[in-house]
Amino acid sequence: MLQPLGKKTVSFDFMANITLSCPTPSQPFLATYNNSNYTYSPLEPTKKPNQNWGSDLSCPEQTPSKEVPTSVHKLRPADIQVIAALGDSLTTAVGAQATGLSDLKTPWRGFSWSAGSDGTLESHTTLPNILKKFNPNLSGFSTGTEKETAGFNRAVGEATAQNLSAQAFELVELMKSSPDINYKEDWKLVTILIGRNDLCQYCLDRETYSVEKYVQHLQDSLDILYEELPRAFVNVVEIMELTGLRQIERETSGCVLSGESLCPCFLNPWENSSQLQEMQKVNRDFQERSMMMINGSRYDKREDFAIVVQPFFQNTNMPLDRDGKPDLSFFAVDCFHFSARGYASMATALWNNMLEPVGQKQSYNNFTYERSMLTCPTSEHPFLFTSRNSGWQSSGSTSENNRAVVPSWAVIVAAIAGILAGSLIVWVLMAQRVCKHPKAGNTAIEEKSTSF
């Protein structure tokens, strides 16, 4: 408590002769972030942080459709006129440029991976900056940190799924009243990411943050967009697998806040404990149940509207530095939100997911950075992928790589189940023939059938 931040003892020897320290005239206070004159840096002190997390992109297929498409299944990136986003602090880009506790809650919306457009693509990788390469007249994006320049990014810090409907309604009303867009004719791209706060608080209130409530809130919000928003392509980013964050908490000591206070339900439980196993299952249930709801037939009746699950967060590989420890340059000073570098990685993963067919999308993000990681539409596949133009139909099954694909083990299980069912029927028929007491036999058969 008396040691300044940056100089605190990080190990303890129970066999050592430990003596108590005393405050001094020059340092009479308990050490805090401010009075320690401490500046957090996730990189080595000898390194100058790279402030440029931009990308290079030059695609041959950058022109819009010859005529404005009427079908979402023939939508090119250059056809998109308006961009918007819903969600929580990840979508407001909290932590992107934070240097300490004083600006940790600042919403750096201009750096938002899904809705921000500070600078250019060469300096900041965001979805709007990518789309501006196809359509320089794109509108709706966020800039700066003020609410007045948030554009159609209606995400709110600390939001949970139950807050999403209000955001969706606000977005629709804002678009309807905006003089900068043609509400009926312009194609709109909306990206949604919500649920991390629900997961982090699940163990504190299993009813409020249940899987059923999460899916219902998400459905209610999508219903608003489906009923009110013309010409829209909606990305629903699958909720992040949070297990990887435990590695940061376990192996680093440079975070200005305890992860256990930010996400107690995931970061507090002991390793391999029943509590952690429960949270991991709930995490998977959030992913699977929301995907099943979206991939059903609820939202496929309109030609100008599609919802596509982008699964790059389904499995998350923790970025490691050269010492094999979590690379904190991807994370904000609280080690819970992301830095500008981390948000740039999310934007890259989202864009690449959008250009991958449904059923064949990359379902992990390994948080790497290269300026040439963005992919391009091709002459064979110039459109953003939807279920229909991917030639994909939901099976309701899951797989290790992509939950749209029916795994081979499911076929085996189904075959075995069929054999067992057939054997049971044969056994019942034989029992009926040899039974000396038909009434008793029939009763037994009825009981067996009911049980089956």
**Alpha carbon distance 223, 385 (integer Å):** 21
Picking from 11-15, 102-106, 261-265, 278-282, which range would have the lowest pLDDT averaged per residue?
11-15
DSSP state of 116: B
For residue 89, CA distances in Å to 106, 113, 127 come to 10, 12, 17
Q: At the topology level of CATH, where does 72-365 sit?
A: Rossmann fold (3.40.50)
Q: What's the pLDDT score for residue 5?
A: 79
Token reading at 9? 């003892």
Nearest to 93 by CA among 107, 76, 78: 107
Residue type, 423: S
Q: Which residue has the tokens 């699940």?
A: 202
Residue 44 has pLDDT above 90, yes or no: no
Residues 6+ apart with CB under 8 A from 48: none
Give residue 13's pLDDT band: very low, low, confident or very high (50, 70, 90).
low
Nearest to 377 by CA among 75, 10, 82: 75
**Alpha carbon distance 190, 181 (integer Å):** 15
Average of per-residue pLDDT values in the chain: 85
Q: What's the pLDDT score for residue 194?
A: 98
**What's the whole-number mean pLDDT along residues 91-105?**
94
Q: What's the pLDDT score for residue 169?
A: 98
pLDDT in tens, 407-434: 333 334 444 455 555 555 545 455 555 4
Q: pTM for the complete prediction?
A: 0.78
Nearest to 336 by CA among 345, 328, 347, 344: 328
**What's the whole-number mean pLDDT along residues 266-288?**
95
Residue 295 has pLDDT above 70, yes or no: yes
Contact call for residues 72 and 306 (beta carbons, < 8 A): yes
Nearest to 321 by CA among 247, 238, 418: 247
Residues 6+ apart with CB under 8 A from 174: 152, 154
Residue type, 131: L
Domain ranges of the chain: 1-38, 72-365, 410-451
